[in-house]
């Protein structure tokens, strides 16, 4: 959910972020076609400032799924949702029409009306956004986030936690047994903060750090992950003959063309293969775990999985 919130904010800001511009140029037209640029998320996530805390629940483990985190969002206490929306109204001046409805009915009912409760409709829109904007790219994003986690774990093992904090971000420092964040005015003791501290690397959070403090949950600190600068750089695949000897030339060609997610029609146009042939090969690649499929309106986008990325990287090294 941190990546959902931070990536949507980046897109809605309208700025041409130099790092994420290739991704944004692909995703923005899909969101506009689906109406997500004027839906629930557009009211919940302003281009800057406060975002309701119930959208970023404390993860239950190191690799939570979207479904697991959405279940927590749907189970948010009524008082929590209303308090966060009141706080958003204070910062924005007012709530949008959808959020006023959500404020009036912020819970999931056992027998919801046709179309679902406001909270359920909001969650459904988040799922749609995920399929259009993040799921086709998740293998690549996840690799960057995992690499950051491994790097931080090694820092702690070799140099201690203080070294990790002092290397995390210029606005974060550890000194005299206290963690300090620049421009954070709220003093928080260990007794009132909740158990532990969750560090959350993010590909989209931008140059700054973001915090969530909602006891009894542990405080969360989201920070820019290392390696984000190379996230969307083209990855040249060499020595494809070795892969083609195993997968076949057509399937290898499709994998290399999926540097960015694409539909069957787009892949047929790029490769010169027939649409029926592309569809058949993609089905085989999907069954083998090398390709994933994600619905985008009337079409389906195909993307390389982390397994495919590893195969291509191994062949090129």
Q: Helix (H, G, I), strand (E, B), or coil: what is residue 95? A: coil
Q: Assess if residue 62 is contained within a domain.
A: yes
Q: Quick one: tokens of 5? A: 């919130």
Domain boundary, last residue among 102, 137, 172: 137
* pLDDT (tens digit per residue) in 66-87: 999 999 999 999 999 999 999 9
- Asked if omega into 216 is within 30° of 0 (cis), the reply is yes
**Is there a single domain that holds both residue 52 and residue 172?**
no
Q: Assess if residue 41 is contained within a domain.
A: yes
Q: Assess if residue 39 is contained within a domain.
A: yes
Query: Alpha-carbon dihedral of residues 202, 206, 208, 214, nearest 10 degrees?
Result: -50
- Residue 262 has phi, psi (to 5 degrees) of -150, 160
* pLDDT (tens digit per residue) in 106-150: 876 665 566 678 999 999 999 999 999 999 999 889 889 999 998
pLDDT of residue 16: 62
Range of the domain at 104: 2-137
**Is there a single domain that holds both residue 133 and residue 152?**
no
**Is there a single domain that holds both residue 185 and residue 245?**
no
pLDDT < 50 positions in the chain: none
Q: What are the CA-CA distances from residue 15 to residues 4, 9, 42 (Å)?
A: 17, 10, 15
Burial tier of 223 (Cβ tally within 10 Å: 0-12, 13-18, 19+):
buried
**Is there a single domain that holds both residue 151 and residue 97?**
no
Q: What percent of the chain has pLDDT over 90?
A: 40
Q: Do residues 230 and 240 make contact, with C-beta atoms less than 8 angstroms apart?
A: no
pLDDT of residue 289: 93
What is the domain count for the chain? 3
**Is there a single domain that holds both residue 94 and residue 122?**
yes
Q: What is d(CA 112, CA 195) in angstroms, rounded to the nearest whole number?
A: 35
**Is there a single domain that holds both residue 7 and residue 94?**
yes
Domain boundary, last residue among 112, 137, 162: 137
């Amino acid at each position: 959910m941190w990546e959902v919130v931070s990536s949507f904010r980046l897109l809605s800001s309208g700025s041409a972020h130099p790092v994420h511009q290739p991704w944004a140029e692909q995703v923005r037209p899909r969101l506009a076609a689906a109406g997500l640029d004027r839906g629930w998320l557009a009211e919940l996530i302003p281009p800057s400032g406060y975002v309701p805390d119930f959208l970023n629940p404390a993860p239950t483990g190191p690799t939570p799924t979207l479904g697991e985190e959405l279940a927590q969002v749907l189970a948010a206490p009524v008082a929590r949702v209303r308090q966060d929306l009141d706080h958003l109204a204070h910062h924005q001046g007012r709530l949008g029409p959808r959020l006023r409805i959500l404020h009036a009915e912020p819970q999931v009912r056992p027998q919801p009306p046709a179309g679902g409760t406001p909270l359920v409709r909001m969650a459904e829109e988040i799922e749609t956004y995920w399929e259009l904007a993040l799921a086709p790219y998740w293998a690549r994003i996840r690799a960057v986030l995992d690499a950051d986690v491994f790097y931080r774990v090694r820092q702690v093992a070799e140099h201690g936690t203080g070294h990790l904090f002092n290397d995390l971000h210029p606005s974060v420092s550890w000194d005299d047994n206290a963690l300090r964040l620049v421009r954070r005015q709220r003093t928080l003791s260990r007794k009132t903060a909740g158990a532990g501290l969750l560090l959350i690397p993010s590909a989209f959070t931008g140059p700054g750090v973001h915090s969530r403090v909602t006891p009894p949950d542990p405080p969360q600190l989201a920070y820019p992950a290392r390696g984000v600068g190379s996230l969307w750089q083209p990855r040249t695949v060499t020595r494809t003959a070795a892969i083609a000897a195993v997968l076949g030339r057509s399937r290898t060609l499709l994998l290399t063309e999926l540097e960015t997610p694409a539909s069957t029609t787009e892949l047929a146009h790029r490769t010169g293969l027939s649409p029926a042939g592309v569809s058949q090969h993609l089905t085989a690649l999907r069954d083998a775990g090398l390709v994933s499929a994600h619905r985008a309106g009337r079409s389906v986008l195909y993307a390389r999985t982390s397994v495919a990325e590893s195969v291509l990287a191994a062949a090129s090294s």
